[in-house]
A and B are shown apart, each in its own frame.
Chain A
């Protein structure tokens, strides 16, 4: 029989779990700031942040402050937002589509974003008006629309959308490869390759100002719909029979998923497995109720991405691994584990 979520019996335990997980997120961000080619003590990191935020005026070297503030902190914050938003998208899609394998990457949204980005980067669509990010954004929305139409046209059942997603992914990946092989020079091809695998390399503060509101807003909207998501446990009709305005909830939450995924992919490239694995891991700890599952997924997603970023920077000396490679290296075995469990549950 399948494994039951641990029953947290006392509210005190829940509260301490919440405090602990937020502390773990802050510590992992602090570690991400401290660890790197130049190791910076945690105390210095703390001083630099206090200096900036409260103007405390601690004595620290300008180089260290520069690395902390303009490079590593923004990078860690974007990683956290990105992990949170992708995990949140996974939670929403898995609940609404009632399919444990649903996530933005599997549904082809990330592939669409890649095609959009590559079209701008290499073909020069938009003649400089469109940035790479907006190209990715447009691609993600386009892919989402196409996969939704395909799923609706084929009967709209919950397995269909996964099949439609697979078809969409293949199509957009093929388009991306077509553009790269026919139009890109060697240097462009290498740049695209890195972008496609996910890269936090060029991330700076303006990206934080974009990613943070999207992740935070997504979280708030999602928490507001936690009970509606619970009501989907036995399907769409069951949710409607429980008084949930199904059409409105679907439009709001699927739209939110598209916006969150498109934003994150446009900043860091396509990163798989976070949206798939994190909700399952969180469900394992706090159970299926969305009022707890949503915050748990957001925080674990954020921690996972920040840690994945640290690993991507230190696992090979003098070289940064694309973060998508790290998330997939950990995500693929977890994916296999879920498939195995899903088979046993039938």
Chain B
């Protein structure tokens, strides 16, 4: 296991956002975090990559406690792609992906062959090598998301966290981004809203509700009609897809009361 979260708690403005989460994430897996808005998915991701500090509980990366790992060292190990991060600066795709090398460089060190190789490899993995000279502002939503993933990959992390990477993308790009993530040779934790896409791509899923983990495991066992009704408040009929064998969630019209 690479990341282990033990009884993590975190509050914002007096409200408990992460309320005692315990979760183990195994190496090489793609873990989907599911849950309604405000269930603590984004906050948990930020706690895992050290952008916020847990108030109680422990998050470990391998054997080391996150809070005790120096900031730059942590950023060489773990990368995050946040929701809809954009900029007004006139940067190119290449400029953005080069930012991923920041934790590997000291303030005055030269750009090395290794940095170059990491950037090229990252651009290649997301299929943006040909567009590297293009301006950020001319990219589509899907392309921007790929560039952010390339920037994260240029950090050469062992763990990659993604906060709703498919938000605001059309269905083709959603499939595209998720199959890209599932092919990457890293441990990944992905906050998602689409239950069917999560079932299709994730090795494991964890359901969050009111800052707690309600269920965790492989999609086939976790996603049940009762659980979806409890957590998301919708009626469903769940069967196995004849195409990929993963659970398929059919949403049913709401009860008339």
A residues neighboring B (CB under 8 Å): 1-2, 4-5, 7, 98, 100, 224-228, 230-231, 233-235, 237-238, 240-245, 283, 287-289, 342, 345
Contact = CB atoms under 8 A, between A and B. Distances in A.
A2 B90 contact: yes
A287 B92 CA distance: 10
Contact of A238 (B50, B82, B95, B133): B82
Contacts of B89: 233, 288
A289 B90 contact: no
B138 interface: yes
Given A98-B87, A227-B105, A287-B95, 8 more contacts: A5-B90, A7-B133, A226-B107, A233-B95, A237-B51, A238-B82, A243-B73, A287-B90
Contacts of A233: 87, 89, 91, 95-96, 99
Interface of B: 46, 49-51, 71-76, 79-80, 82, 85-91, 95-96, 99-100, 102-103, 105, 107-108, 133, 135, 137-138, 155
Contacts of B96: 233-234
Contacts of A245: 71
Contact of A224 (B82, B107, B135): B107
Contacts of B71: 240, 243-245
A237 B135 CA distance: 22
Given A224-B108, A230-B102, A237-B82, A288 B135 contact: no
A242 B100 contact: yes
Listed residue (A2, A100, A233) with the most chain B CB atoms within 10 angstroms of its CB: A233
Contacts of A234: 82, 85-87, 96, 99
B82 A4 contact: no
Contact of B155 (A1, A5, A242): A242
A183 to B, nearest CB: 44
B74 A243 contact: yes
Contacts of A288: 89-91, 95
B13 to A, nearest CB: 11
B86 A227 contact: no
A135 to B, nearest CB: 36
Contacts of B72: 243
30 contacts: A1-B135, A4-B90, A5-B90, A7-B133, A98-B88, A100-B88, A228-B102, A228-B107, A233-B87, A233-B96, A234-B82, A234-B85, A234-B86, A237-B46, A237-B51, A241-B51, A241-B79, A241-B82, A242-B99, A242-B100, A242-B103, A242-B155, A243-B74, A243-B102, A245-B71, A287-B95, A288-B95, A289-B95, A342-B88, A345-B88
Contacts of A230: 99, 102
A2 B137 contact: yes
B90 A243 contact: no
Listed residue (A225, A230, A233, A243) with the most chain B CB atoms within 10 angstroms of its CB: A243
B183 to A, nearest CB: 23
B87 A242 contact: no
Contact of B76 (A5, A243, A283): A243
Nearest to B111: A291
Contacts of B133: 7
Nearest to B103: A243
